[in-house]
């Protein structure tokens, strides 16, 4: 259940969007276009957008650069989360993440199960934090992008979402233990 407290002001976040694919181009990246439109419709800023081939090192370079950029709060990727040999987005994410957000992948698959049944088991959607930046890896299909954005991220990236959300934690993401 998602609920907004309209007495809290909306805070737009700056989101970088990465499409991971050996076959998509800027001209036919319909999932990326769909997500970009949803990000902007929600009132957030599309801070950057890129397309990388299914190459771990290239993805790591892109993610590392974005997590060092103080003008980017969140990175969302689409594609490369399956189980085939070319699907390497989770491996790239693992090389940069400092902390995993286990519940994201679990919730994504639970919500997806209601729509596509046991086929959701093939998704390796995941999330975490690096350098004070949230990173989310979604599958590349339009349906998966809708599931990830409409059912999870649009709420968790809205400061008005109660009882808690990712935005309210942003100032504390770089804290260290004693």
Q: What is the pLDDT along the chain (178 residues), one digit of tens a residue?
A: 679 999 999 999 999 999 999 999 999 999 999 999 999 999 999 999 999 999 999 999 999 999 999 999 999 999 999 999 999 999 999 999 999 999 999 999 999 999 999 999 999 999 999 999 999 999 999 999 999 999 999 999 999 999 999 999 999 999 887 6
What is the model's pLDDT at position 2? 75
* Nearby residues of 123 by Cβ (< 8 Å), 6 or more positions away: 81, 82, 105, 108, 109, 112, 139, 144
Confirm whether 22 is domain-assigned: yes
- Sign of torsion, CA 119 98 78 15? positive
CA 172 to each of CA 85, 139, 144, 160, 163: distance values in angstroms, whole numbers, following the listed order? 37, 28, 29, 17, 17
**Structural domain boundaries enclosing 153:** 10-171
Confirm whether 32 is domain-assigned: yes
- pLDDT tens-place string over residues 151-173: 999 999 999 999 999 999 999 99
Rounded Cα–Cα distance for residues 122 and 80 (Å): 11
Mean pLDDT score across all residues of the chain: 96
For Cα atoms 10, 13, 16, give the angle at the middle one, nearest 5 degrees. 155
Confirm whether 176 is domain-assigned: no
Rounded Cα–Cα distance for residues 172 and 149 (Å): 23
Confirm whether 143 is domain-assigned: yes
What is the model's pLDDT at position 70? 96
Confirm whether 4 is domain-assigned: no
What is the model's pLDDT at position 137? 98
Longest CA span, the chain: 49
Rounded Cα–Cα distance for residues 147 and 19 (Å): 16
CATH number of the domain where residue 71 is located:
3.40.980.10
What is the model's pLDDT at position 177? 74
Rounded Cα–Cα distance for residues 116 and 149 (Å): 17
The pair of structure tokens assigned to 77 is 């990727």
Pairing of strands 126-130, 74-78: unpaired
Residues recorded for the chain = 178
Structural domain count, the chain = 1
What is the model's pLDDT at position 7? 97
Confirm whether 47 is domain-assigned: yes
Rounded Cα–Cα distance for residues 110 and 7 (Å): 31
């Amino acid at each position: 259940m998602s609920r907004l407290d309209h007495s809290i002001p909306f805070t737009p976040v700056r989101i970088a969007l990465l499409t991971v694919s050996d076959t998509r181009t800027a001209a036919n990246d319909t999932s990326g276009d769909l997500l970009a439109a949803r990000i902007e419709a929600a009132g957030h800023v599309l801070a950057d957008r890129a397309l990388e081939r299914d190459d771990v090192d290239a993805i790591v370079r892109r993610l590392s650069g974005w997590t060092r950029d103080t003008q980017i709060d969140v990175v969302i990727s689409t594609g490369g989360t399956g189980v085939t040999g070319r699907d390497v987005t989770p491996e790239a994410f693992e090389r940069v993440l400092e902390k995993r957000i286990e519940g994201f992948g679990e919730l994504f698959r639970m919500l997806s199960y209601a729509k596509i049944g046991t086929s959701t088991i093939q998704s390796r959607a995941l999330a975490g934090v690096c350098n004070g930046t949230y990173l989310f890896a979604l599958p590349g299909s339009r349906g998966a992008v809708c599931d990830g954005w409409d059912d999870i991220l649009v709420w968790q990236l809205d400061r008005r979402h109660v009882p808690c959300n990712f935005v309210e934690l942003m100032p504390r993401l770089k804290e260290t233990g004693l």
